[in-house]
Amino acid sequence: MDPFSDQLGDQVLDASPYLKLVIDKEGRWFQNDAEIIHPQIYRQFCSMLEKTSDGGYQVRMGREICRVHVEDAPFVVQRVMEGDEAEMSILLNDGTVEPFLPESFWIGPHNVPYCKVKQGVFHARFGRPAYYQLAAHMIADDEEKEFILVVGTKRFSVQRLSEFEDELSPAGK
């Protein structure tokens, strides 16, 4: 038995004062201003990411936690893949593929597209190539005031930021 573990009990150690973790708007991770480029370490950090009760982010490994500053969204959609007529999948920056949920898609500030990912826990920013792939499935209404996302035979109204402000506000991130 580890005597150090016995002394700590259930105490959580916060490494935030010593370790600065940042996810930039392109989904790249940085540790103390150095980009994390090793694929396994990058994926490990992505898999340990969790939301905090105050709307922020942290990674947890065992009894250690560290706050993560997220510039925009913690994940980036890199590619949209068409399945059968009624389904699409998305490839995220962490290498995972998951179903695209059109009802979770919205356009944020500066016309940047987002959707919910990881069972709705996080939001992801669409990278430019992925947005262009998805834009091929969008049409404008007759007055061009609203855009419609067409997936198979289903149509989804594309929501604007005003309906998702809580998602993108600092408390919602």
Mark whether 125 and 48 lie in a shared domain.
no
Mark whether 115 and 163 lie in a shared domain.
yes
Q: Supply the pLDDT for residue 140.
A: 86
Mark whether 81 and 160 lie in a shared domain.
yes
List b or e across 79-108, with b for residues whose CB sees 16 or more CB atoms inside 10 angstroms.
Answer: ebeeeeeeebebbbbbeeeeebebebbbbb
Residue 100 within a domain: yes
Mark whether 59 and 93 lie in a shared domain.
no
What is the number of structural domains in the chain?
2
Residue 59 within a domain: yes
pLDDT of 72 strictly over 50: yes
Which of residues 14, 48, 70 is at a domain's end? 70
DSSP secondary structure code for residue 109 in this structure: G
45: domain CATH number is: 3.10.540.10
Residue 140 within a domain: yes
Amino acid at 161: L
3-state secondary structure of 16: coil
H-run or E-run covering 71: none
Mark whether 44 and 98 lie in a shared domain.
no
Mark whether 88 and 151 lie in a shared domain.
yes
Mark whether 97 and 163 lie in a shared domain.
yes
Tokens for 78, please give them: 């890199």
Residue 141 within a domain: yes
Reported as a single tens digit per residue, the pLDDT across 101-155 is 999 999 998 889 999 999 999 999 999 999 999 999 999 877 767 889 998 889 9
Full residue range of the structural domain in which residue 99 is found: 75-167
Q: Name which of 1-5, 75-79, 110-114, 163-167 the model is least confident about.
A: 1-5
Residue 20 within a domain: yes
Rounded to two decimals, the pTM is: 0.85
User: Looking at 40-133, which runs of residues are DSSP E strands?
Assistant: 49-51, 57-61, 64-70, 75-82, 88-92, 97-99, 106-107, 113-117, 122-126
Residue 173 within a domain: no
Neighbouring C-beta atoms of residue 12, cutoff 10 Å: 10
